Amino acid sequence: VRKAGITIIATSQAPALLGSSIFSNLYVSIMMALSDGHDINKMQKCMGIMDSDQRDHCHKIKEREAVVKLAGRYLKPFVITIPDIKEWKNLGWTS
């Protein structure tokens, strides 16, 4: 990844298929709802989620919700809610 200069890696189907070295070089990790337990476990390991309540929540992520971890600033994973597109229009972010 470094040699090729890749700065963004996005996977929506099977994060468990990516190599561990790729996960160790991530600055931002974002996990939305995943259907496969193996993929969820891989993302939890990548994000350092060890607390049992947090691990359980990862299996119940709702629509427009995500777990985020920033490697350089805020080391603890946190949950965000992505606003509905109608809310974005009210904020004047879309035309």
The neighbour count for residue 1, using CB atoms within 10 Å, is 12
- Residue numbers in the chain where pLDDT is lower than 70: 1-2, 5-13, 87-95
**Residue 49 burial (10 A CB sphere; 0-12, 13-18, 19+):** buried
Q: How many helices (H) and strands (E) does the chain have?
A: 4, 3
pLDDT at 95: 54
Flag whether the pTM goes above 0.75: no
